[in-house]
Amino acid sequence: MKSRAVWLLSLLFASSTAAAEEATVTSLMSKDLELVPGKELTMIMVEYPPGNVDPVHTHNAQALVYVLEGSVVMQVKGGEPVTLTPGGTFYEGPKDVHVVGKNVSQKVPAKLLVVLVKDKGAPILMPVK
């Protein structure tokens, strides 16, 4: 099941690369956090085609990223860029601005598993200008 937020995330990833193929975002699960009213846990899979680059954005959530395949560079504002390979992890806090997110390879896709703790019903991604 793809929610409107996941569709928006796919659209934003696609618009960030004129010549590159768009990223595929698949919603895997979303559950209310029983002990934290108003919050939900959402799990998505993001598949980056070769050369794909994210737009600058925030999640307004806590995000745990796990690289399943390929190699990506991630960076939040004020932090250092980090190159991640399979098994690598990355964290984004609710106030972090994700300034770099890209597939390192121009030939090999990358696949990420992302778990977010966010306000119930809030969008997964918000672009930052």
Q: How confident is the model at residue 23 (pLDDT cuts 50, 70, 90)?
A: confident
Per DSSP, the three-state class of 124 is coil
Whole-number pLDDT of residue 20: 55
When divided into structural domains, the chain yields a total of: 1
Query: pLDDT tens for residues 57-111?
Result: 999 999 999 999 999 999 999 999 999 999 999 999 999 999 999 999 999 999 9
Whole-number pLDDT of residue 74: 96
Whole-number pLDDT of residue 61: 95
Q: Say what the pTM is.
A: 0.81
**Whether the Cβ atoms of residue 48 and residue 9 lie closer than 8 Å to each other:** no
Whole-number pLDDT of residue 89: 98
- Residue 73 contacts by C-beta under 8 Å, 6 or more apart in sequence? 81, 82, 83, 84, 100, 101, 102, 104
- Residue 92 contacts by C-beta under 8 Å, 6 or more apart in sequence? 59, 61, 62, 63, 65, 76, 98
Whole-number pLDDT of residue 22: 79
**Whether the Cβ atoms of residue 81 and residue 73 lie closer than 8 Å to each other:** yes
- DSSP secondary structure letter of residue 79: S
Identify the domain containing residue 18 by its residue range: 4-127
CA angle (48 as vertex; 107, 51 as ends), nearest 5:
45
CATH number at residue 33: 2.60.120.10
Count CB-CB contacts under 10 A for residue 116: 22
Query: pLDDT tens for residues 110-124?
Result: 999 999 999 999 999
